[in-house]
Amino acid sequence: MSMLLSPLIANVHFPPISEVKRWLADRPDDGRELIDLCQAVPDYPPAPEMTAYLATLPADPLMSKYSPDEGLPEVRTALCGYYARKYGAALSPDNVCLTIGASQAFWLALVTLCRAGDEIVVQTPYYFDHAMALDILGIQGRYAPFVESRGGLPDPAQIERLITDKTRAILVVTPSNPTGAIVPPDTVRELFDIARRHGIALLLDETYNEFIPGGLRPHGLFTDPAWGDHFVQLASFGKTYALTGYRAGMLVASADFIHQALKAQDSMAVCQPRITQHAVRFGVEHLDRWVADNREMMSRRHDLFRAEFTRPGNRFHLAASGAFFAWVRHPFTGCSGRQAAKRLVDEAAILSLPGEVFGPGLEGYLRLAFGNIREETIPEAVQRFREMKI
């Protein structure tokens, strides 16, 4: 190992999606097309009217310039209107910082909240990039275990028991990546009350908030006049508007928190690209119906996947599922998730992610991102699981 490496980063696992995609070079060619259930990327393009609008922008010389670190005022104002519709929130533009994806928003939140040696209580299965960031920064994760009988939902009492005098935040993803589970608003409120009681933050990643069936309000925290004292939200529009490569993220917090976070923003990224900001503004002002149509389509995909997967005779067990994802217990006794996922690549031409990258003790599981395959492909994908030899 190079003497130049930090011990912290040297001990962090390699990005899981990059790891499993390297397996494809050695995959036997059996004539079947690969079904990629590895990465959650919408299979559909951005709305045609979005694409047409963005095509008009590059000739504007301003498009090549920096914006304010936190984002253009008119974009943040438009986002406040969106939050009023989505959450009943009365946000100010000062509550918003546009970021290079939700992952950068998470880093901003971490470096504003924590220093090395602090702790964050994390619900497992967690999003692997979150744990990687904690490890790189020397922040200790205290992990609330996955309980299959709860379908991946957090147990507030269990989370509260993990809080110590070093704890700075509770981290939850809803809808969950990797399980798809949607945390009910009452549970979100209970977690917020726990955070307030202990003087810490509830850090909520809501990347998939537009894929809750029926477009229901995810929670009511923003209607609490003192929400900013103990609530920090990570948001993304990459999945919402099929703009994953545009890296359209956002940090939402109190005005004071955002003011302090801008110190890191300026030294880390300066600003989100202007063209991404204009894409987000166009989306929140014009594409509510398009988003709703895609939500309904994704709900149909989930319902079909669940119905096919749970028919008798499948030795893979569906432990949890929801927006974009299925969390599956594999049947290979004595095999790690990596070994099971590698077998699926080699024997079924199915690409998935191993459970252990989402938390300790989860070697018996796999994450399937069914949201990036069309409805007509779902029966074939599930049939390949059914045909696996154990």
CATH of the domain at 74: 3.40.640.10
Please name the helix (run of DSSP H) or strand (run of DSSP E) that holds residue 187, with its range, or none.
Answer: helix 185-198
With a cut of 70, say whether residue 1 has pLDDT above it.
no
Q: Note the pTM of the prediction, 2 decimals.
A: 0.94
Three-state secondary structure call for residue 283: helix
Half-sphere exposure of 306 (CA within 13 A, CB side): 17
Q: Are residues 377 and 320 in the same domain?
A: yes
Same domain as 65, residue 154: yes
Q: Are residues 300 and 357 in the same domain?
A: yes
**Residue 371 pLDDT class (50, 70, 90 cuts):** confident
Residue 180 lies in a domain: yes
Which one of 223, 257, 287 terminates a domain? 287
Query: Does 198 score more than 80 pLDDT?
Result: yes
Query: Is the pLDDT assigned to residue 134 strictly greater than 80?
Result: yes
* Nearest residue to 352 via CA among 334, 374, 329: 329
CA-based torsion, 39, 45, 47, 52: positive or negative = positive
User: What integer best gives the mean pLDDT of the chain?
Assistant: 95
SS3 248: strand
pLDDT of residue 4: 82
Question: Which pair of structure tokens corresponds to residue 287?
Answer: 């594409």
Domain with 309 in it: 7-45+290-386
Average the pLDDT over 88-115 and give the result. Answer: 97
Q: What is the pLDDT of residues 15-41, one digit of tens each?
A: 888 999 998 888 888 888 999 999 888
Residues 243 and 378 in one domain: no
User: Are 247 and 185 in the same domain?
Assistant: yes
> What are all long-range contacts of 54-63, with beta carbons under 8 Å and residues at least 24 apart?
54/275, 54/278, 54/279, 54/282, 57/275, 57/278, 58/275, 62/274, 63/274, 63/275, 63/278
Check whether residue 341 and residue 255 sit in a common domain: no
Closest-CA residue to 207 (of 242, 169, 234): 234
41 vs 329, higher pLDDT: 329
